[in-house]
Structure 1
Amino acid sequence: MTAVGEDACSLSTGEPDFATPPFLCRAAEGATKAGHTRYGPAAGEPALREAIANKLQQDNKLTCGPDKIMVSNGAKQTLYTLFQVLLDTGDKVILPAPYWLSYPPWFTWPGGRSVIVPTRQDENHQLDVSFGAVALDLAERTFVVKGFSKNWAMTGWRLGYLAGPESSWAKPWRSRAKAPATCAALCNMGAWRC
């Protein structure tokens, strides 16, 4: 459609139909000029981790210090790492439908399996479940995973984060620190302004 001049929004790969905000582009340019082009801390730049902790407290009423936050190559990479590290044979993962096509194999590779739970568009695809009924200690086993890609049109920046309880967070962090990729320092430098 776009090839013949029609206005269309492709939802195939989740690319936003707007540009990265100029203030983020300027921050990245400034970080480059300031020499932030080398490896950064494995868990992410401290200023970004502090900003994420503040965001979680202000917007989500979640108390999570910067030491419990890991900056990543995006939400997708974070989810993949968590599933590979935390799932054991026979573990079940609740998967709300519709879902991204990559997710089910991520559960089966470490021996887990997905329990697909349909959601409804007229209910904003919300799960109809009381998490308190699932487990009393759910807060101690819950992670927040978020990416900057869609909201900030930063898909090419590959930037996201994981926040969670230290008892569960330490194992994925140690595994990720040995992973073949960490988040680019340059991407960390401007994102704390989001």
Structure 2
Amino acid sequence: MTYSEEAQRVAQELVEPLETRWRHVQAVAFRSTELTDAVAANQRDELVAAAWLHDIGYSPSIKCTGFHPLDGALHLQANEWPSAIVNLVAHHSGARFEAAERGMSQQLARFPFRDSATLDALVTADLTTGPGGERFTYDERIAEILKRYPPEDPVHRTWAKAAPILKEAVRRTEERLAKAQPK
């Protein structure tokens, strides 16, 4: 069984009861398969696995800190998933910025941040997919997040700061994908 197949099983077990979140996770995983040409061949399964697992930290059965990227990474680490997948989940979609807003940077630092094409592709898959699985542009997704959370919320403050930086991750993924496509 590949990591992505096992990840789908784990995500279904932990996230399917969350209904709307499950639709989002399925769509992010599907979107990640469209982006695999933007990463090295030996990292494609890691990308798709991380896409399936990126929101498992929302599951009440594994929640411990209340910060879903960290909770997901802690659960995966405890269950001996490869560190590359654990770290992708820990740092997906600007988690380091939200950790700073929440005073949790030290806790997140136990998972090394690695800027990579695979992380860029995971960011792209997540941030071009709406909360119910809709296909969005990056700008539409950020506007949706900012509208959903009031300005005093740490999530809103995070995206007000992180949006331009993560937009670059999406741009890099699109550029890599374009270069990989046959001409």
| Structure ID, larger Rg | 1
Structure 1 or 2: larger helix share? 2
TM-score (norm 1): 0.25
TM-score (norm 2): 0.26
